[in-house]
Chains A and B, each alone.
Chain A
Amino acid sequence: MRRLFRIYLEKPELAGIALLVILTLVFETRSDGVFLSAENLRGILGLLPEVGLVSIGVTVLMICGEFDLSVGSMFALMPVSVALMTDSGLPFIPAMLLGLTIAAVVGFANGFITLAFNIPSFITTLGMLFIVRSLTVVVTGGFPPLLSSDLPIGVFTQFVGPGGMLRASFIWFAIIALVAGAILNGSNFGNWVRATGGFLDAAASMGVPVWWVKMTCFVMCAVLAGFAGTIEVFRLGSPLPSIGDGLELQAVASAVIGGTALTGGVGTVLGAIVGALLIRVIDNGLVLSQVDANWFKFAVGGLTILAVVANSWLQRTARRIKVEG
């Protein structure tokens, strides 16, 4: 028992993984084996990169002790900007780079306002949620701009791999996830992110450049959200200005379900992915089990509350039985 608690404290994403396994088994039986069929997995994995990338960004930012509620709006602003720029004749790659720059500027603004005025990022990014969504609607006039059909969007959307199991977006997602995981776990910057979110004063007194650490995380979070939205728009073929509405809370939910602490310092990239995957699995599994799809948000909501209750209970218990050896 003590061993189990110790492992749990060091690997907070384990609870999410266990739940993922259980739900997979449940849906597999309820759907008479359709859930784990190649065709269905292909559907789940095709959608995972989009919410997964947002979730990674939000998770890393939460680990360093800050929030970003503007990711859903950023998810729309970048693809809309890229579509508008390519429509006006800009080639694809410069348009993408400019789009990513716009995302970086929004992330920088989030970080700068939060840190310079010393206000909660919850408020800064809540404001930015409205501002960025408004900008998106204003620049489009409320109608989705055309997505030119000769853009090389195949680098994100085409099916690849054995039997066309995966979309190219999954490769991008896998590479970004591996890099993010390596940075968080295996680099000194990752150590600073954890220290900054775990105990800000201690990090600062040990010479960690906490201002830059937070700023980098804000920028990275916004850039990932914009990139993810662009991938989704390429898949759907239409840059709807309303895309990504409500995504910010789904991203926070998947971070929390994956074991990320709201208080900062605790969390993993794997947890973010597990959380995002759980949400996709529930969405898909409910449909396959022929449950009314409107229960989806109910399930995600319940799971989020359950995850936080379970995590805080487990941590309290783990601390009580003093697991040091």
Chain B
Amino acid sequence: MAEPFISVRNLHKWYSGVHALKGVDLDVQSREVCGLVGDNGAGKSTLIKILSGVHRPDRGEIRIDGHPVVITSPKSAMKLGIETIYQDNSMVPTMSIARNLFIGREPLSFAIGGLGLLDHRRMREDAMRAIANVDLHVRSADALLSELSGGQRQGVAIARAMHFKSRVLILDEPTNHLSVRETAKVLGFVRSLPAQGVTGILISHNLHHVFQSCDRVVAMARGEIVFDKPVAETNVDEVSDAL
């Protein structure tokens, strides 16, 4: 087997006395979509929050593309090409699509020491292209996020991740609160990640969604990985039993 793209070894995390991750080992191959399932409090969220830089591990090693990395902040995760889409939508409802796409990474026409003037034209043009690329059509990049439906918002989040050429896309319950049709669209997108050269991690409560769109299913319980098989070699019942 080739060198895994993401390699996590012996990862530990304590939250004020609670041992949330108890030595997790996980390998994800390049261009593989890995489904992560488990009950609330199983450690899924902790694991992906560490990968996306929101939390820092207390012990353990992470390798990306063979290189040991220290992910200290969301920004450093993004620099490594790790983008995350959260269930409650990592978008600001009171801001426009164009502004949302570039929060924290605004294109500037003039800057001193990281602060500067926005390049509004480029933001608008890039935003329109980015959302058209994920097959989302809205009136204008100036529309506010609060004007969009849940599915459209998730589409903007996906457009943002793709625009910044992510190498790893983490989706944390991306289909919560979505309609059936919107859910199918998001799952179809997840399915297409390998073809776009992106490695994916999908966190979901719904095993059927995982079996529809992932190559592998990994189950967590009580801070440990308790099950790990290619989707083709298992079924929903077997995973349910493991949980």
- A residues at B contact (CB < 8 Å): 6, 9-10, 182, 186-192, 194-195, 198-199, 201-208, 261, 265-266, 319, 322-325
Contact = CB atoms under 8 A, between A and B. Distances in A.
A194 B95 contact: yes
B209 interface: no
A192 B139 CA distance: 24
Interface centre among B75, B111, B147, B152 (most CB of A within 10 A): B147
Contact of A205 (B84, B105, B142, B149): B84
Interface stretch (B34-42, B86-94, B193-201, B225-233): B86-94
A195 B94 CA distance: 8
A6 B117 contact: no
A195 B144 contact: no
Given A194-B94, A199-B94, A325-B139, 18 more contacts: A9-B144, A186-B118, A186-B120, A187-B116, A188-B106, A188-B111, A188-B118, A191-B95, A192-B104, A194-B92, A198-B95, A204-B74, A207-B73, A207-B104, A208-B103, A265-B92, A324-B149, A325-B138
Contacts of A202: 86, 89-92, 103
A204 B54 CA distance: 8
A265 B146 CA distance: 12
A156 B117 CA distance: 30
A188 B122 CA distance: 13
B78 A207 contact: yes
Contacts of B93: 198-199, 265
Interface centre among B73, B142, B143, B146 (most CB of A within 10 A): B146
Contacts, number: 102
B99 interface: yes
Interface in B133-182: 138-140, 142-144, 146-149, 152
Contacts of B52: 205
Contacts of B91: 199, 202
A189 B115 CA distance: 7
A207 B74 contact: yes
Main secondary structure of the interface of B (DSSP, over half): loop
10 contacts: A188-B111, A194-B94, A195-B92, A195-B103, A199-B91, A199-B92, A199-B93, A205-B52, A205-B54, A205-B86
A5 B139 CA distance: 15
Nearest to A187: B117
B144 to A, nearest CB: 6
A202 B88 CA distance: 9
A189 B140 CA distance: 23
A192 B103 contact: yes
Interface in B54-92: 54, 73-75, 78, 84, 86, 88-92
A266 B99 CA distance: 14
A9 B95 CA distance: 10
A324 B90 contact: no
B211 interface: no
Nearest to A189: B115
B147 A9 contact: yes
Given A194-B99, A202-B90, A324 B143 contact: yes
A135 B89 CA distance: 46
Contacts of B99: 191, 194-195
B108 A188 contact: yes
A58 B149 CA distance: 32
B75 A319 contact: no
Interface in B96-138: 96, 99, 102-106, 108, 111, 115-118, 120, 138
Contacts of B84: 205
Nearest first, the 10 A-B pairs at minimum CB distance are: A325-B139, A207-B75, A198-B92, A265-B94, A188-B106, A207-B104, A206-B104, A198-B94, A324-B147, A199-B92
Nearest to B152: A324
Nearest to A12: B94
A192 B115 CA distance: 11
Contacts of B74: 204-207
A203 B84 CA distance: 13
A194 B52 CA distance: 23
A2 to B, nearest CB: 10
Nearest to B92: A198
A261 B116 CA distance: 26
A265 to B, nearest CB: 4
Contacts of A189: 115
Interface centre among A186, A189, A324 (most CB of B within 10 A): A324
Contacts of A201: 88, 90
A261 B117 CA distance: 25
A187 B95 contact: no
Nearest to B102: A191
Contacts of B144: 9-10
